[in-house]
């Protein structure tokens, strides 16, 4: 009991554990609302202590995150038709996201995030993958693809999130040398790879492979320059290989077993709407983005980049791309930090997948937080000057691992 009492006397540690629990619960709790509730509690704690951490907002990555999120939420005012209930919901989601970024940057000073977040993701993600595989084998779905359970949703989301967990697992094998953990991690690795394969999502396969290539290159390269060169060579080789594969009949069938899934039609329709309405400021965050195609209704743009363009126009897309550039730049500047290599790899998974999927940059905790906002939070935390003292008299514990 004394340890619990001591913990709650140190609010930053409570915040750190809330963050760890929230991300771990994504894989274990069936409802996104349950995980979001944890982040709302975190948000309330951060609002109460605003004077303590508001100085962090001077950090460019956090500042641009605020500007982008607030701009997208404000775009609700020109959405058509107006939907104030959805607008209020989006405002809560945006505020929750921004408060998480600030909380992560603040808790980074304690070192507890670095110590426990990766292991929590590995254990929870590995457990979720086992359950998903068993359910897949028992139910034997007609389409032959393994969907994720609960918050993991569709097969592509499950494949992407299990891929990010796999990257954290590979880093944990370097960080923790105990035999027990290596056995657990080895079992989880086999399960995660099997789960990713069983999703049969080409997007997840390609995106996770890209993330693993980035992580592998970051692990073997001793300098940023070599890393950038190696990744560039792999990227060019990969694009050439995909192009040649696409041109062959067998390769085309492998890459697109269900055809183009109406992606060109969806993308052209979304782009035409934005161009005809307002290409500068977009359609607004809560404007319906369904695309009707005969008897089919496609519920969103199936591309995060097009979704941001649709919602916020060229202004929103420019800020989104600028945030990506600042995030990658920060992670490259701190290339020697192991967590920066993990963040680069997991961000790669997200950015590649966003070419073909994704539509909610402003959202509750979920796949967008793990694929995009968590790497952004890590990059912002790394940018905080090391001479900074943690608030409330905490000693600085800046652990780059």
Q: In residues, how long is the chain?
A: 401
- The pLDDT value given to residue 230: 94
Vertex 111 angle, CA 105 and 113, to 5°: 65
Query: What is the three-class DSSP state of 297?
Result: strand
Tens digit of pLDDT for each residue in 280-311? 999 999 998 888 777 777 788 889 999 999 99
User: What distances in angstroms separate CA 211 from CA 123, 139, 218, 397, one per listed residue?
Assistant: 20, 31, 11, 29
276: CB partners within 8 A, 6+ apart = none
DSSP for 158-185 reads: HHHHHHHHHHHHHHHHHH---HHHHHHH
Convert the pLDDT of each residue in 63-73 to its tens digit.
Answer: 999 999 999 99
Residue stretches of the chain with pLDDT short of 70:
1-9, 252, 257-260, 385-401
**pTM for the full model?**
0.92
pLDDT digits (tens, 9 = 90+) for 354-396: 999 988 999 999 999 999 999 999 999 998 865 444 444 444 4
Contact between residue 111 and residue 120 where contact means Cβ atoms under 8 Å apart? no
Identify the helix (H) or strand (E) that includes residue 191: helix 179-199
């Amino acid at each position: 009991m004394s340890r619990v009492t001591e913990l709650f006397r140190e609010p930053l540690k409570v915040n750190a554990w809330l963050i760890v629990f929230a991300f771990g619960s994504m894989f274990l709790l069936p409802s996104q609302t349950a995980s979001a509730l944890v982040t709302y509690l975190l948000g309330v704690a951060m609002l109460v202590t605003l004077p303590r951490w508001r100085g962090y907002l001077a950090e460019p990555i956090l500042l641009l995150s605020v500007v982008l999120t607030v701009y997208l939420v404000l775009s609700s005012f020109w959405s058509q038709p107006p939907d104030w209930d959805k607008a209020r919901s989006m405002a809560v989601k945006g505020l929750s996201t921004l408060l998480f970024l600030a909380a992560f940057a603040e808790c980074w000073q304690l070192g507890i995030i670095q110590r426990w977040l990766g292991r929590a993701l590995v254990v929870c993600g590995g457990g979720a993958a086992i359950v998903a595989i068993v359910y897949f084998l028992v139910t034997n779905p007609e389409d032959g693809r393994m969907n994720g359970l609960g918050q993991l949703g569709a097969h592509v989301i499950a494949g992407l999130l299990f891929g990010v967990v796999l990257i954290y697992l590979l880093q944990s094998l370097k960080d923790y040398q105990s035999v027990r953990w290596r056995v657990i991690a080895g079992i989880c690795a086999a399960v995660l790879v099997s789960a990713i394969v069983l999703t049969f999502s080409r997007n997840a396969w390609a995106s996770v492979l890209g993330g693993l290539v980035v992580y592998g290159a970051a692990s073997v390269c001793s300098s940023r320059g070599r890393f950038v060169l190696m990744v560039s060579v792999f990227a060019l080789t990969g694009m050439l290989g995909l192009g040649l594969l696409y041109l062959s009949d067998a390769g085309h069938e492998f890459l697109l077993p269900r055809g183009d899934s109406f992606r060109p039609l969806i993308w052209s329709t979304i782009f035409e709407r934005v161009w005809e309405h307002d290409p500068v400021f977009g359609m607004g965050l809560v404007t319906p983005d369904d695309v009707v195609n005969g008897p089919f209704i496609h519920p969103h743009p199936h591309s995060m980049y097009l979704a941001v363009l649709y919602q916020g126009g060229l202004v929103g897309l420019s800020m989104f791309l600028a945030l990506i550039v600042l995030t990658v730049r920060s992670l490259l500047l701190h290339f020697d930090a192991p967590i920066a290599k993990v963040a680069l790899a997991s961000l790669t998974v997200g950015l590649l997948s966003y070419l073909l999927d994704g539509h909610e940059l402003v959202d509750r905790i979920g796949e967008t937080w793990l694929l995009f906002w968590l790497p952004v939070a890590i990059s912002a935390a790394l940018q905080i000057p090391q001479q900074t003292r943690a608030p409330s008299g905490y000693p600085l514990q800046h652990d780059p691992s």
